[in-house]
Amino acid sequence: MAAKSPRLDLLPVPQEIRPRSGAWKLPDDLLVSLPPGSGRMELTAARQLVADLASLGVAARLARRSGNDDAPAASGITLRRARVSGGEEAYALAVGAAGVCVSANGPRGLFYGAQTLRQLLRQCGRKLPAVAIRDWPEMALRGVYHDISRGRVPTLDTLKYLVELLASMKVNALSLYVEYPYRYERHPQVWEDTDPLTAEDVLELQEHCKDHGIDLIPSQASFGHLERLLTKPPYRDLANTPSSGTVAGSRKFSRHGTSLDPTNPRSEKLIAELYDEFLPQFDSPYFNACCDEVWDLGQGKSEPRARRVGKGRVFAEFICKINRLTKRHGKRLMIWADILKHHADAIGPIPKDVIFLNWWYNAESKEWMIDHSRHIRKAGHELVVCPGVNNWGAFMPRLARMRDNIANFAAAGRQFKALGLLNTEWGDGGHFNLLGTALPGFASGAEHAWAHSKADRATIGRRWSLHVLGDAAGTAERVVAAADLRDADYALVRTGLGDENRLDFAAMKTTPEKLLAGQERFHARLTEAIGLATRLSDSLSRNDGTPAAFQRLLTPVEYAVLSALTLAKGDAVCGHLNRLTGNAAAARKLFRKAADITESLVPTYKELWLARNRRSELDWSVGRFREAMRRWRRAARA
């Protein structure tokens, strides 16, 4: 009689799972064996196992084991080097009556096999079902791109936690988006008035990344998105079109004053000096120079050159300069691929070893996901597909859109044999949400990058809840699903900081009455989300007092506060809609309520910000809250 297959909630889903009869009951003490010559990654994984076993009441010892014994140690856990198909990151895991054996070709495979074993322990406790697992990645590069340039600069402890979490889901690359928060010694005006990362921070973080098999890829905006830098007196004359002249002005969206003049030799000199300080801190073979959204390309100072050779050629010429500077530091250049939207000819002169990062964040787009990917590959370039976690422009993430976007882009990556998947998290317009909102997206991206062909959307909710937060009941998934800003709700309820008066009813093909009904339904969902998040926080507060447990506990508290802030903005939206439908008294009450709720939440929001981030631009973020509250209180008196 065939063994009944256990429901193993692993993340990512392994390529092959074969259940066997029986189980291994963990003894009170056991040995975790490492292979001879094992290094930092195997040692890190073994120490994680020892800590996890201790939380189950098992006293585990750690030692290297000599010889080539094929069998696991009696009632123990063995990590061993052995030939396994699937490459350097592949592994085989076998649970039998005597213990567990993880086999791999090298340290990366052993590390990932240990992560799967840790998940089995988290789900099953001290009685592991007998099972044989074979697993390997479908994409070579499996990364996360984390924005640290729109307000929130994480503490080093938070970044280390993020590294550990991502590695546990078999992510192997992390890149931090830098526009200005890096301490350049020769150019202090770049980072002044912020709390930037230092070279020492990067070096320490990189060592932690190496322990966990993660490549820390440097990234510095090098063409567009330099609006803050270009407001500073030493750099204003390098702007392709006139800048706003102030940091406050640079925070407002504009298509002017955001890009370097690509025809000015001093632009190249500035970039060279930044690279000379920044790039030597990183051991990664890659460097992402960004170069996206060069809004004013071919305008202003670059217009004469563009008239002669074309805008695409102007772009390509500057990329070639950046590429030479990148090669000087022994790295391979990556750039975002949105230039192809309007200037597909730009790709022609760009050296073939430049990697294009093809991004798009809606659920579907043949032009971006398929046509651009095909164009990149036909031009002879490596391709990385770049979906996103869809938490920007809102307090809580857009869950359904995120999962569609990641799944569809991963499929395009497989179709065009992409080098990998880089899952992006942005803070456009101000990073007013908090880290917890990105976690479900990080989990979905990790699964599709490792095993898109096995990804299971039906169960991802309970699996990320369990393995990211230790939430076996799947409550975290219910929270973010209830607060999902979808359809018309997404069009209205954004960060809580925009102006709710700017609603284009004709464009949305609706009326104030219909929108009001939709907002009231959404309020019920948000109220449910707040209650669920509060209960989850109470549940997780009983966990151990480790730094990782503290980070996990922060997430449901963030969800409760951010859902409440979304609810407050929804009250303001409903206040505006009531005013339009003639109910002035209800409008005044709702505006007052929105301001009161937001004001009551600001102290907790500040505490949550500082729990994971440097102070940096917290005052700017809170200032945006206060600006909204003043607007709502004026409306309540009208």
Looking at the DSSP assignment, which residues form a beta bridge with residue 92?
A: 103, 134
Q: Is 513 exposed, middle or buried (0-12, 13-18, 19+ CB in 10 A)?
A: exposed
Distance CA 455, CA 448 (A): 6
Q: What is the pLDDT of residue 471?
A: 96
Distance CA 631, CA 502 (A): 13
pLDDT digits (tens, 9 = 90+) for 363-377: 777 788 999 999 999
Distance CA 3, CA 473 (A): 26
Q: How far is CA 365 from CA 15, 171, 623, in A?
A: 28, 26, 36
Residue 48's region, left for phi above 0, alpha for psi from -120 to 50, else beta, is: alpha
Q: Is the pLDDT of residue 251 over 50?
A: yes
Distance CA 125, CA 132 (A): 18
pLDDT digits (tens, 9 = 90+) for 319-341: 999 999 999 999 999 999 999 99
Q: What is the mean pLDDT of residues 495-510?
A: 71
Distance CA 633, CA 628 (A): 9
Q: What is the pLDDT of residue 367?
A: 83
- Paired tokens of 42: 């195997």
Main-chain phi, psi angles of 38, to 5 degrees:
-65, 145
Which segments of 216-298 does DSSP mark as H helices, in order?
247-250, 265-278
Q: Is the pLDDT of residue 267 over 60?
A: yes
Closest among 41, 311, 34 to 163, alpha carbons compared: 41
Asked if 39 and 5 count as a contact pair (C-beta separation under 8 A), the reply is no
Q: What is the pLDDT of residue 490?
A: 46
**DSSP H or E segment with residue 185:** none
Count CA atoms closer than 13 A to 546's CA, side-chain side: 11
Closest among 272, 144, 321 to 217, alpha carbons compared: 144
Asked if 480 and 462 count as a contact pair (C-beta separation under 8 A), the reply is no
Which band of pLDDT confidence, cut at 50, 70 and 90, is reported for residue 217? very high
Asked if 262 and 192 count as a contact pair (C-beta separation under 8 A), the reply is no
Q: What is the mean pLDDT of residues 455-460?
A: 97
Q: Is the pLDDT of residue 211 over 50?
A: yes
- Report strand pairing: 16-25 vs 127-135: antiparallel
- In one letter, which amino acid is 408? N
Q: What is the pLDDT of residue 68?
A: 54
Q: What is the pLDDT of residue 363?
A: 78
Q: Is 57 exposed, middle or buried (0-12, 13-18, 19+ CB in 10 A)?
A: exposed
Mean pLDDT lowest among 165-169, 348-352, 483-487, 627-631: 483-487
Distance CA 125, CA 58 (A): 10
Distance CA 162, CA 612 (A): 11
Output the DSSP codes for 87-115.
-TT-EEEEEETTEEEEEESSHHHHHHHHH
Closest among 255, 268, 260 to 239, alpha carbons compared: 260
Q: Is 458 exposed, middle or buried (0-12, 13-18, 19+ CB in 10 A)?
A: exposed
Which band of pLDDT confidence, cut at 50, 70 and 90, is reported for residue 6? low
- Paired tokens of 104: 């791999």
- In one letter, which amino acid is 199? A
Mean of the per-residue pLDDT values of the chain: 93
pLDDT digits (tens, 9 = 90+) for 44-103: 999 999 999 999 999 999 999 875 555 545 579 999 999 999 999 999 999 999 999 999
Main-chain phi, psi angles of 81, to 5 degrees:
-85, 130
Q: Is the pLDDT of residue 286 over 70?
A: yes
Q: What is the mean pLDDT of residues 615-635?
A: 93
Distance CA 194, CA 152 (A): 10
* Complete domains list, the chain, with CATH: 16-135 (3.30.379.10), 142-455 (3.20.20.80), 476-637 (no CATH)
**DSSP H or E segment with residue 194:** none
Q: Is the pLDDT of residue 172 over 90?
A: yes
Q: Is the pLDDT of residue 252 over 90?
A: no
Distance CA 533, CA 524 (A): 14
Contacts of 314 (CB under 8 A, 6+ apart): 262, 263, 297, 298, 302, 305, 306
Helix, strand or coil for residue 611? helix
Find the radius of gyration of the CA atoms of the chain.
Answer: 26
Distance CA 287, CA 333 (A): 5
Q: Is the pLDDT of residue 486 over 80?
A: no
Main-chain phi, psi angles of 142, to 5 degrees:
-130, 95
Distance CA 96, CA 578 (A): 65
Which band of pLDDT confidence, cut at 50, 70 and 90, is reported for residue 247? confident
Q: Is the pLDDT of residue 1 over 50?
A: no
- In one letter, which amino acid is 491? A
Q: What is the pLDDT of residue 506?
A: 78
Could you tell me which residue, 416 or 6, shows the higher pLDDT? 416
Q: Is the pLDDT of residue 489 over 70?
A: no
Main-chain phi, psi angles of 92, to 5 degrees:
-125, 140
Main-chain phi, psi angles of 276, to 5 degrees:
-60, -30
Q: Is the pLDDT of residue 496 over 70?
A: no
Distance CA 519, CA 420 (A): 39
Q: What is the mean pLDDT of residues 180-197?
A: 96
In degrees, to the nearest 5, what angle opens at C-alpha 463 toward C-alphas 458 and 465?
Answer: 115
Which band of pLDDT confidence, cut at 50, 70 and 90, is reported for residue 498? low
Could you tell me which residue, 636 or 364, shows the higher pLDDT? 636
Q: What is the DSSP letter of 178?
A: B
Q: What is the mean pLDDT of residues 453-462?
A: 97
Maximum CA extent, the chain: 83
Q: What is the mean pLDDT of residues 236-251?
A: 87
